Structure 1
Amino acid sequence: MFTLVILSLGCLHGLYLSYELIRKNTANDANRMLALCIQCFVALLFFILLDESGAFYYVPYLIGFQEPVTFLLAPCFYYYVRRLTSPAYLPFVRTHLLPFFIAVLCATPFYLLDAQSKWQFLYGDMYAPDLPVWYLSWYENGFIFGAMIQVAIYLVLSWRRLSTYQIVSENNFSSLELINLNWLKRLLLMLGSLYGLWFLDEAIEVNAMACIDHGSGIGCHYDWLIGERVFFFSELGVVIVFYLMSYYGLRQPEIFTQSNQYLELEKSETNKYVNSALSETLAAELCRLIEHQVQDEKLFLNPDLTLHDLACASGHSRHHVSQAINQSKNISFFDFINQLRVTHAQAQLLAHPNRSVLDVSLDSGFNSRSAFYGAFKRYTGVTPGEYRKQHKQLAEKLS
């Protein structure tokens, strides 16, 4: 009963999380890819739920359809990492789906079995008679091994991508880049932990089979090891990861609500506005006017301010506003706004020494304390607490 409740909660929460990812920004293909990854996890949990509850007895034709889905998880996650760490648009390379299609092709003989044969193969004492020898000899045994190798490869590739991204960008992080990097590190750690739990579950199963078949396993005298298990660590881990993702999404909404404007901005910067009709002189003048407007109207205090909002407020196109800021100040829109927010926060920290750092960060236009700390230290070289302490010591010396 415990397992069924946990699996049901995991499926429902995973569906809700993937729905929110797509609903919050339908134009963000990175979110769609993460939602697809979550839906793959949900599909695996759902099939496990059918197995644990005995529901396969009523829908035996569904048996086995979940296995190839395992080969979709890692490519979807890797693309999500690449999409958030690359300024250019990255189409999904279809060769990443090759292991999935190979798995589907190899499993076709099992899919073509009638419902009764599938049921006997899974729960009966005899193998289904119509399966080819190669399927019974190596596919069933090699499937898990191949899936684990594929996931390990993509986890390593994702880790290398994040390491390279951090090295290349460590001196030029915008607030959004810093949030993305920290989020992807946490997500990679969570999926790496899931991989470890999956490996542990498979090792326990192999050991249990060795105990049952040959009596040569480890701890064969423990009934809980060779008997039916109440739950698998990896199943429980997936459910926990779903809730952790929701927690981080609530704590830092920028993770899931960011649009592709940042990516479009970086892409346009690489082209250096070759086809733009805005000259450097006009760009500098427009930047000056925009800066005055943002400061006079305190637009930077709006935590949801976007390039599109600023363009509408200034009466100019988004492309021209982006070009004016980038060419005149040699920074992105996000850096431009965050610098103004940090400057405002500096004044607030000194003017109100008893106010908490969290209150100052929210009043300065930041969505979270962690985003504020990252931006503040980047532009000032110290944390907000250290900044207050330094000025307090300086004031004491002068007095």
Structure 2
Amino acid sequence: MAEKILFFFGALGVFNALLLAIYLLIVKPNRRLDDYFLGILLFYLVIRVGVSCFHFFGQAPHELIKLGLMANLFIGPVVLLLMRALINPDKVIINRSLWQFGLLSFGLVLSWVLFDLPTWNWKIRYIIHFVLTVYLIQVAFIWRREFGYFFSSKGLTFNVRKAIIIYLAIVLICFGFAVSLFSSYIVGPLSFSIIFYLAMGYLLSNSPKELDTPKKKRYFSRKQVAPQEFNDINQKLTQLMEIDNIYRDPDLKLEALATQLAISRHLLSKILNDNLDVNFHQYINNYRIREACRILRENKHYSIEAIAYEVGFHSRSSFFTAFKKLKGTTPSKYRQEG
């Protein structure tokens, strides 16, 4: 009875992960690149964990055990691609990654034909675990380079937090499977189920609201800014942006801008919202992206990273997000098309 309960909880995570993978790969509208990679990652995890569940409840066929180990090998490359898609989508190069999948697939097919299950259990298994570890370490080195940019800002974007949670979840799941080698085979699936629900629960509860939701009702005073007053303030504001290039300051805040205009924070916010129909961050980012586009067209030798910091963004990830939102493409593609 106890084994059946353990099997149920282990298999429950596998079933829900499969449903989520199908949703991300097929059903979800407006799928992004990271959605595809997360769906593929979950699919490989479903195979790996599902085989472990089956093996715990009853002796799995040799071919099924090999299939589970094969899926384990592809987890590493997909994690690497997913992290890049979340952190720095401009650097995700699918064609360059295909040769890695091809080489791994060729090695697995050759091993499937040439070696029996005992060899897989005592040799191929450790090679697969070693390759997975190498990929996870490679991701860690990517984070080592990127973290300085992320933590230089006031807060992490949702994509960066999502990448952190997924990476830590994969590391903990791998640790659970490592422990299962010295205890019970069900430890791996149970670890997966627990970590899967914790990670998904956190991501769902902290996901940003959709951008197309209705605007919140504004509770500013109904009194309109006088036309002459607006023209005077807007003229000063335009000078600060287009002549003084104040938007290049990555630490620019609404209060600081209002101080330079010699008006209150409330009045500046009201003008931006009511007269210009944008909020503060949208207004500043419009200038930053416009300048970034100019540099992308005129200075081909400038790196994307250098441009991001030049125009006032705290991190490359926030630059990519703002650029994609306003231009509908990535900075590199914009440069190529220009």
**Residue by residue, what CA displacement relative to the aligned partner does 1:327-368 show, whole Å, maximum 9, x if unpaired?**
469356978x99xxxxxxxxxxxxxxxxxxxxxxxxxxxxxx
Matches within 5 A, 1:93-112: 93-97=97-101, 98-108=103-113
Judged with a 3 Å threshold, the aligned counterparts in structure 2 of structure 1 residues 102 and 243 are, in CA distance, closer, same or farther, namely same
8 Å contact from structure 1 (residues 30, 80) kept in 2: yes
Deviation, structure 1 residue 54: 4.1
SS state at 1:171 partner: coil
Matches within 5 A, 1:251-266: 251-254=205-208
Pick one of 55, 65, 80 that aligns with 1:51.
55
- Aligned equivalent of 1:82: 84
Matches within 5 A, 1:345-364: none
8 Å contact from structure 2 (residues 24, 31) kept in 1: no
Q: For 1:51, give the aligned amino acid.
A: H
d(CA) in 2 for partners of 1:12, 1:56? 18
Matched, 1:14 2:10: no
Deviation, structure 1 residue 247: 0.3
8 Å contact from structure 2 (residues 69, 128) kept in 1: no
Pick one of 133, 140, 144 that aligns with 1:159.
140
Structure 1, gaps ≥5 residues long: 110-133, 205-224, 260-279, 311-320, 339-399
**Residue by residue, what CA displacement relative to the aligned partner does 1:253-300 show, whole Å, maximum 9, x if unpaired?**
249x799xxxxxxxxxxxxxxxxxxxx99x959x9xxx9885118977
d(CA) in 2 for partners of 1:199, 1:55? 20
- Aligned equivalent of 1:196: 175
Judged with a 3 Å threshold, the aligned counterparts in structure 2 of structure 1 residues 87 and 292 are, in CA distance, closer, same or farther, namely farther
d(CA) in 1 for partners of 2:53, 2:68? 12
Judged with a 3 Å threshold, the aligned counterparts in structure 2 of structure 1 residues 157 and 297 are, in CA distance, closer, same or farther, namely farther
- Aligned equivalent of 2:230: none
d(CA) in 2 for partners of 1:296, 1:42? 51
Deviation, structure 1 residue 188: 2.1
d(CA) in 1 for partners of 2:277, 2:38? 32
- Aligned equivalent of 1:343: none
8 Å contact from structure 1 (residues 198, 234) kept in 2: yes
Pick one of 36, 40, 43 that aligns with 1:39.
43
Judged with a 3 Å threshold, the aligned counterparts in structure 2 of structure 1 residues 99 and 13 are, in CA distance, closer, same or farther, namely same
d(CA) in 2 for partners of 1:168, 1:328? 21
SS state at 1:65 partner: helix
Matched, 1:295 2:273: yes
Q: Which has the larger radius of gyration?
A: 1
Q: For 2:274, give the aligned amino acid.
A: D
d(CA) in 1 for partners of 2:278, 2:206? 18
d(CA) in 2 for partners of 1:81, 1:258? 23
d(CA) in 1 for partners of 2:86, 2:242? 30
Matches within 5 A, 1:313-328: 324-327=287-290
d(CA) in 2 for partners of 1:136, 1:47? 15
- Aligned equivalent of 2:198: 244
Deviation, structure 1 residue 14: 0.4
- Aligned equivalent of 1:64: 66
8 Å contact from structure 1 (residues 8, 49) kept in 2: yes
d(CA) in 2 for partners of 1:2, 1:151? 30
d(CA) in 2 for partners of 1:104, 1:293? 65
When normalised by structure 2's length, the TM-score is 0.58
**Percent same amino acid at aligned positions?**
13
SS state at 1:64 partner: helix
Deviation, structure 1 residue 149: 0.8
- Aligned equivalent of 2:125: 144
How many residues in Structure 1 have an aligned counterpart in Structure 2?
242
Deviation, structure 1 residue 70: 1.1
Deviation, structure 1 residue 145: 0.7
Judged with a 3 Å threshold, the aligned counterparts in structure 2 of structure 1 residues 296 and 47 are, in CA distance, closer, same or farther, namely same
When normalised by structure 1's length, the TM-score is 0.50
Deviation, structure 1 residue 197: 2.1
8 Å contact from structure 1 (residues 25, 31) kept in 2: no
